[in-house]
Structure 1
C-alpha cells in the first residue's frame, strides 16, 4: 500500500510535479526561432537547456539499468555547443527522447525495488535516481520558464 502511494507520488514528481511546471508545459507553443536566444547574456539558450536535460536524464536512466554504461564526460559532453537545433526535426526528436527516456525510467520505478542499491553504483538506488532526475529537470525547466519570460514568450 505505502509503496503504491510512493510510486504514484514519484510519477507525479517525475512528470512535472504538482508545485511546478513540467517540461511539456514549459516548451508548449514555443516559437522555433526563440530556441537559440540567450537574453541578457545568459550562458545558455532554451535549446541548450533542453539538450542538457535529455543528456543528463538519459545518463541517469542508463546508469540505473546497465552496469556497463559509460557516462558522458563532465561537463563537455553534457552541454551542446550549438545554441539552437539545426531544424524542427531535431527539436521534435529531442523532446520525444526526453519523454521516452522518462517513461522508461518510470517503468523502473514501477517494477524495481526502489530501495535496493544499484549493484554497480556506490550507494545509489532507483529512488535516489528518481529524486535526482526530478530535481535536475525541475531546476532546468524553471530556467526555461525564466528565459521565456525574458523573451516575452510565456503565459501572462
Structure 2
C-alpha cells in the first residue's frame, strides 16, 4: 500500500528541521574558527534540496510532484535506478518505521554530502576528513538546537 502524502510531507518536514540544525551548527563552527564565506550557505542548500527532491536536470524521477508515466509503465515498476542517490536515501528514511530515530543521522549525512560536494573548499577548510566532520558537528549540536527548532 502506498504511503500517504501527509505522512511523506510530515517526515520530510522533520528531516528538513534536522537539516536546519546541522546548518546552524556549521555556522557556529565557522564563527568559532573565524571563517567567513562570500556567499550565504542556506539559500544554496535550499536550492540544492529542491533540485534533489524534484530531480531538476538529472533525468531521474522526482521524489515529489507530478510526472507522466511512459505508456505501459506502472508506478510499481520503479527501481532504485529511477531515483538519484539522495532521493534513494530519503526514500529509505521516509519508509523506515524508525525514521524519527534516524533523522539526525540522516540530516548529518545529507548535509555532509552537500557540503563536501557543493562547497568542497569550505569543507576542506573546516574539517580534516569525514570523521572530523561528524565529531565536530555532533559535539556542537546540543539539546538547545533541537528546542530552538521545536524538534522532539
Structure with the higher helix share, 1 or 2: 2
Whether TM exceeds 0.5 here: the answer is no
Q: TM-score, normalised by structure 1?
A: 0.34
Q: TM-score, normalised by structure 2?
A: 0.34
